[in-house]
């Protein structure tokens, strides 16, 4: 639903199990997402145990991904809904012992919202897992993967198929577009019946599919944080065609690590031009792979987390000594 404040709240069995777990002595209690916090709130308050929270986006800033689907008469509701979620965020932030973002920009925004210093740990992928993938530079096949319960991914597909791909096919009619992921609306097959579109659904292992694609196409206009789908594609050596939003939070350069444009015509032109340039695709794909290996491998985020956990553990010991 187009509501930010639909937090995952009523989960009595989860709450009971979590309360039992809190009876044990943990070095670190690590939680994810403000919207998933409510089932843990009462147990944490009763235990008095400090915890770490990672926020993958500034959730109260993501409203555009849902609110633009509401009719104009519902604008007042959208304003109220955003206020509700911001109030919920603030409530959760006040309870955290340590707050972590996944990009530097998000850390600054969360610091402003929470009134406290916010660390950041980069999103990361298992680069070794994708190291064996070699994209098919001659396949003329684009790939997109997403969770379609998330509004920005729905918007990306609608923009791609309504505006971008018709322009691509006018320039390069042999290009195909494979679309996979969880929660794909069944109506899409009828809405866009072009046989050059491949509807794949959910796939637990992306590597075989990545090896059949020539480019990863992510026309994202909304969202936040940094995009795991982009990192996974780069780790597999797939050249990425995307927008600034698709590489948000990444220290990459357009034309070197990825191919980027902000409008439909620009993205279509990039795809049409590069689909028949396998050497250039190879160069960009490998530059992306090297970047992700150096900056976003699991080992990088693990080292960053270790620093935060060590500091947090010392602060916990300080609290205990004062009791």
Q: Which CATH superfamily is domain 127-296 in?
A: Glycogen Phosphorylase B; (3.40.50.2000)
Cα(210)–Cα(77) distance, integer angstroms: 42
Contact 101, 55 (CB under 8 A): yes
Threshold 0.75, pTM exceeds:
yes
The residues, ordered by sequence, that sit 6+ positions from 317 with a Cβ below 8 Å of its Cβ are: none
* Within this chain, domains 12-124+299-322 and 127-296 share the same CATH topology: yes
Q: What is the pLDDT of residue 224?
A: 72
pLDDT tens, 10-33? 688 999 999 999 999 999 999 999
- Note the pLDDT tens digit of each residue in 22-69: 999 999 999 999 988 999 999 999 999 999 999 998 887 776 556 666
Report how far Cα 224 is from the mean position of its chain's Cα atoms: 7
Q: Write the pLDDT tens digit of every residue in 130-151.
A: 999 999 999 999 999 999 988 8
Domain 12-124+299-322 listed as CATH 3.60.15.10: no
Q: Mean pLDDT, to the nearest integer, of 205-224?
A: 93
Q: So where are the chain's domains?
A: 12-124+299-322, 127-296
CA 55 to chain centroid, in Å, comes to 11
CA atoms of 168 and 213, how far apart (whole Å): 16
């Amino acid at each position: 639903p187009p509501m930010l404040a639909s937090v995952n709240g009523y989960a009595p069995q989860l709450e009971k199990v979590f309360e039992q777990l809190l009876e044990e002595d943990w070095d670190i209690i690590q939680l994810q997402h403000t919207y998933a916090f409510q089932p843990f709130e009462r147990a944490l308050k009763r235990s008095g145990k400090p915890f770490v929270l990672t926020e993958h986006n500034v959730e109260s800033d993501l409203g555009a991904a849902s609110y633009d689907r509401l009719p104009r008469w519902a604008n007042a509701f959208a304003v109220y809904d955003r206020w509700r979620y911001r109030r919920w965020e603030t409530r959760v932030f006040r309870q955290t012992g340590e707050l972590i973002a996944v990009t530097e920009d998000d850390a600054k925004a969360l610091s402003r919202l929470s009134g406290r210093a916010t660390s950041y740990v980069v999103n990361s992928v298992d680069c070794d897992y994708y190291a064996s993938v070699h994209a098919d530079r001659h396949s003329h096949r684009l790939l997109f993967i997403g969770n379609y319960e998330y509004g920005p991914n729905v918007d990306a597909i609608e923009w791609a198929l309504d505006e971008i791909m018709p322009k691509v096919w006018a320039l390069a009619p042999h290009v195909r577009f494979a679309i996979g992921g969880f929660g794909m609306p069944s109506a899409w097959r009828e809405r866009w019946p072009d046989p050059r579109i491949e509807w794949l659904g959910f796939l637990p292992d992306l590597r075989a599919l990545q090896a059949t694609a020539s480019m990863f196409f992510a026309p994202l206009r909304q969202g936040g944080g940094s995009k795991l789908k982009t990192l996974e594609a780069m780790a597999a050596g797939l050249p990425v065609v995307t927008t600034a939003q698709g590489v948000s939070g990444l220290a990459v350069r357009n034309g070197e690590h990825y191919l980027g444009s902000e409008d439909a015509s620009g993205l279509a032109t990039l795809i049409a031009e590069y689909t028949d340039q396998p050497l250039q695709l190879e160069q960009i794909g490998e530059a992306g792979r090297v970047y992700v290996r150096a900056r976003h491998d699991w080992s990088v985020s693990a080292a960053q987390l270790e620093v935060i956990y060590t500091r947090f553990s010392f602060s916990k010991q300080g609290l205990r000594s004062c009791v």
